[in-house]
Every structure is written in C-alpha cells, then in structure tokens.
Structure 1
Amino acid sequence: MGWKLKRFNELTNQELYEILKERTSVFVVEQNCPYPEVDGKDPQSYHLFKEENGEIISYLRVLPAGVSYKEASIGRVLVKKEYRGQGLAEELLRRGIDFIHVELKEDTVKIQAQDYLRKFYGSFGFKAITETYLEDNIPHVDMLLQTEL
C-alpha cells in the first residue's frame, strides 16, 4: 500500500490499533521491557508508517518541538521483525527527518536512541550529546542532528 504520514486525529481506528500493536510487540514484548508504551504524546505527534496487506511493517512518530524536548524529535522507530534487513529503517528515518526539515521547518532533531543503534543514527548525522545511560534497563544515549535549512 505504501507510505502514510498522518496526524493522530487522521488515523483510522484500525491504523491506530495496528500501530499500538506493533509498538507493543517490539518495545514491550520483543525487548522484554515493561514500560508505559502509550505515553500521552501520540495525540500531538505525526505518525509515519508503511503498510503492506493491512499490516504496519514500519513506523515512527514525529514529535513537534515542545512535546518531548524543546527540539523536534523522532521516536518509536520500528520495522516489523519479518521485514528487517531490507533498508526500510533507513528509508523510514530519512522520510521522518525530511518531514521535520521541510514541513515543520525545524533544523534540529533530538532523539533518545538505544545505544546499540548509535552507529545507525550517526550515519544520518546524529551526534551523541550524553554518555550512555539506562532507561527502563536498556542502554540509551541522547543524540542531536543539526542541519542548516
């Protein structure tokens, strides 16, 4: 079906259900990490995802400046297990960053990345701005991308 980018109130009930199902599958079940996945930030966010046969196979949310940080942010980046290793994560992140730069007109993006993905995010220009720390018992690092618009 292809890529979609929607505000929270534009999501269908089915799309929202599938998004929350996949986020829970990856971040709570697969990573064995009980934490508040539904954190109250979805209504203020943009939701970028790719659907195939009614399934969400790739997803991230864009949080405008002021929602999580003073900067715009990207979070909940996932590719469904069966679709990993096909370049979807790179395309997903590129689309999310482009949306922030072009549509939201923001030049800075802050993320809280799992430490093992530091190199992946670094390949897009993100730089670590903290030491590694534990968040929900998973090593994380805060990273910043600054671009001249």
Structure 2
Amino acid sequence: MLVRSAPLSAVPPVTLYAVLRLRQDVFVLEQQCLYPDLDGRDLEPGAVHYWAEADDGAVLGTLRALDEGGGVVRVGRVATATSARGTGVAAALVQAVLAATRGPVVLDAQSHLEGWYERLGFGRDGAEFVEDGIPHVPMRLTR
C-alpha cells in the first residue's frame, strides 16, 4: 500500500474519480446519507487530498485535510473500501496527515469510532451531535 497526497488540481483524473466514487459508495450508499458530498471545500486552496493505493493502483481509502485557519487542520471524508477495512488503511491516512502538519488537528468522528481515533491521539472536544442521522463527536489532537 502506498499513501499519496495532493491538492485537487494535482490528483490524476482516474484517481480523483476513484476517490469520489469511494466517498459516494461509503457515505451515500452504505450509510444512506443524502448530503452534498461535493461541498466546495475540496477546491479550497489549503485542501489536501490523501488516498491509499494498492499495488495495482486501486484506491483503498481516502480522506481530505482542510485548512481551518490559525494553523488548525480539519480531517474529514475518511472512507475505506469495504475490502480494505481492518487492514490499517485509515490509520495510515490519518498518520500521514499528522506527519505533514504541525498544529492542532480536528475532526468530527462518528461516535462508534471515538475509541479508534483516541488510539491515534485524539480526544473528545465537545458534546455529541447528530449529523445526517448519525451520532458524531468533535475531536481534537493538540501538539
């Protein structure tokens, strides 16, 4: 597995298609959330897209890192292909973001994944809330 990152304009078109397809497969189809995944934030100047590729180039997982200002980075749209779950793909992607950033990193974790993010160093940073019918918790890793 290889983890790559790039701003949207530098993501190869076939890879971008696979990344967006994976996000749709996970969030819209699997989790049945009808929301605007293409929300404009992928295009922001500070947005960096991360993806994990198999040896054959297939996209196994993805996330995006957004510049929230003041040195804060927001991780979101974390998605792993069904066939790659439990293999460390998502952890490798999050760790790549942490290696590339210096300041605080925030995210809104689905509540059932709170412990998983805690193992990566994140801590709860507020009250649970519901988004698109799924409970979430705000989390932060401060360095």
Give TM-score, length-normalised by structure 1: 0.87
Q: Does 1:19 align with 2:22?
A: no
Aligned to 1:120: 116
Q: How far, CA to CA, are the matches of 2:14 and 2:53 in structure 1?
A: 12
Please state how far the C-alpha of 1:70 moved relative to its aligned partner: 7.3
Match for residue 134 of structure 1 among 109, 130, 133: 130
Match of 2:95 in 1: 94
SS of residue paired to 1:134? strand
Look up the match of 2:43: 43
**Residues in 2 aligned to 1:13 and 1:87: alpha-carbon distance in whole angstroms:** 25
Q: Contact (CA 8 Å) 1:23, 1:78: kept in 2 or not?
A: yes
- Cα separation, 2, equivalents of 1:2 and 1:32: 29
Other-structure match for 2:60: 57
CA shift at 1:2, angstroms? 2.1
Tell me the number of residue pairs that the alignment of Structure 1 and Structure 2 aligns.
140
CA distance in 1, matches of 2:62, 2:120: 17
Letter in 1 for 2:113: L
Q: For residues 75-110 of structure 1, what are the alpha-carbon distances to aligned partners after superposition, in whole Å with 9 as ceiling and x for unaligned?
A: 111211001111222212111111122xxxxx2111
- Given residue 80 of structure 1, which amino acid in structure 2 is its aligned partner? A
Contact 2:51 2:59 in 1 (8 A): yes
SS of 2:29's equivalent?
A: helix
| 1-structure distance, mates of 2:2, 2:106 | 27
Alpha-carbon distance in 2 for matches of 1:28, 1:47: 19
1:58–1:88 CA contact under 8 A, matched in 2: yes
| C-alpha contact (below 8 Å) 1:60/1:96 kept by paired residues | no
Quote the residue 1:111 is aligned against: 107
Displacement over 3 Å in runs of 4+:
none
Partner of 2:32: 32
Identical-pair percentage: 33
